[in-house]
Amino acid sequence: MNKSYTLGAGSMFNNKKLKVADNICLTLDQGMCLGLVGESGSGKSTLGKMILGLEKPDQGEIRFEGKDLVTMSKKERLVVRRKIQTVFQDCYSSLNPRWPIYESISEPLRNFEKLSAREEKRTVQELLVSVGLHPEDIKKYPHQFSGGQLQRISIARAIALKPKLIVLDEAVSSLDVLIQHQILKLLDELKERYLLSYLFISHDIMAVRSISDQLAVMSKGQVVETINCKDPLSSMKHPVSKQLLASILPSHPRDRNKARLTPSKGEMQEPFLETNVQQRIVRSGQTC
């Protein structure tokens, strides 16, 4: 898949093209988590937006359950829309501060499902419980919750329609480390319970590795390296990956060895828990 943005007409950029997706070829199997890391501006969010249908690639396919998201009809897209949800860093983009959270969580249900008022209320309360909140919280407003609780509410909204894939873009980045661990653990539990697949985008390689099965490193619109999260981060070869690692690893060699022992997803312990943008991108169950 390829995607460029045209930079400022008539400005110093003189319609120069900025490549933000350059022959990206990634595969995500159903029930798996693909982590996407990379420096700021490398094109991670743009890739997420293309999967969500918020941006269009210039060329290439994004296959989801065997169907190309780019060329499918509006009607087909509507069916798929409920299967691909998102959680952003800024929960206020999905939670209206003027609404009690009941309204925000039930909105997708009202748009896509015909439930009685009673069923709807029960579903919203069950969703709150499944993200570790209290059923009575439905009456509260966003300002009455902490950042971690708000992210739980955003997650409840994202799973309301029983999606297959969730694009999590910097979903834990604004939270402090302890709350990050709790949300990552919750995401991992929900993934198992609801057979979800995640595209987990973050600049935080440790957070990404702790939840992902595969980790892809992006730089300047390209995926420069992909590793299995069971492998040590030190097995990464590309200079950009090494640079990302250097930014988190302690400088003393003895401490570096310790850092390498940080558990990956397979070894997760409390409390710490990893597209042909030519041919394929998201594989949920089948080839994409």
Question: Could you list the residues that contact Mg ion (CB under 5 A)?
Answer: 45
Estimate the share of the chain in helix, then strand, then coil, as percent rounded to the nearest 5.
40, 15, 45
Choose the stretch contacting ligand ATP; rule: CB under 6 A; options: 35-43, 92-100, 224-232, 260-268.
Answer: 35-43
Q: Is 44 in the site for ligand ATP (CB under 6 A)?
A: yes
Kindly state the tokens that stand for 81: 């829309």
Residue closer to ligand ATP (CB basis): 21 or 128? 21
92 binds, among ligand ATP, Mg ion, none (CB under 5 to 8 A by kind): none
Q: Do the strands 84-88 and 67-68 form a parallel or antiparallel pair, or are they unpaired?
A: unpaired
Can residue 203 be called a binding residue for ligand ATP (CB under 6 A)? Answer: yes
Location of structure tokens 């390829």: 2
35 binds ligand ATP (CB under 6 A): no
- DSSP SS3 for 189: helix
User: In whole angstroms, how close is the CB of 139 to ligand ATP at the nearest point?
Assistant: 34
| Candidate list 11, 14, 40, 269; residue touching ligand ATP; CB under 6 A | 40
Regarding 38 and contact with ligand ATP (CB under 6 A), the answer is yes
How far apart CA 123 and CA 209 sit, in angstroms, is 32
The SS3 assignment for 232 reads coil
**Close Cβ partners of 119 (under 8 Å, ≥ 6 residues apart):** none
* 43 binding ligand ATP? (CB under 6 A): yes
Residues that bind ligand ATP (CB under 6 A): 5, 18, 20, 38, 40-46, 203
